Amino acid sequence: MQLGTRWTSGDEPPAAVPAVLRPQIHAVDRALPGDDLGQPRPRWTLTFLEGRPIAELDTGVIVEATASGEVLVRHDDEDEFG
């Protein structure tokens, strides 16, 4: 696995984030509830596994490109094989 970069949810993703992931990352960011207590927003981490980009939010939401080029949004506690 190759470490990419990190950025705060709600901020514009860095240039290293592939265009194919951006619409779903923005959708996840828009769906996050606001925090009236002023807590910091969660952060995204971009990595590459077998050359495929994977963006994971600190909350466990994952946006990834499959080998076929499809973009999936899932939570890290979901069974990806079931």
pLDDT tens-digit profile, the chain (82 residues)? 455 799 999 999 999 999 999 999 999 999 988 777 878 899 999 999 989 999 999 999 999 999 999 999 999 876 555 4
Assess if residue 7 is contained within a domain: yes
What is the value of pTM for the model shown? 0.85
Assess if residue 35 is contained within a domain: no
∠ at Cα 36 (31, 38), nearest 5°?
100
Assess if residue 19 is contained within a domain: yes
Based on the structure, what is the number of domains in the chain?
A: 1
Domain that holds residue 11: 3-30+40-73
Distances (CA, A) of 12 to 32, 76, 77: 15, 23, 26
Rounded CA gap, 21 and 23, in Å? 6
- Positive or negative, the CA dihedral 56, 21, 34, 10 is positive
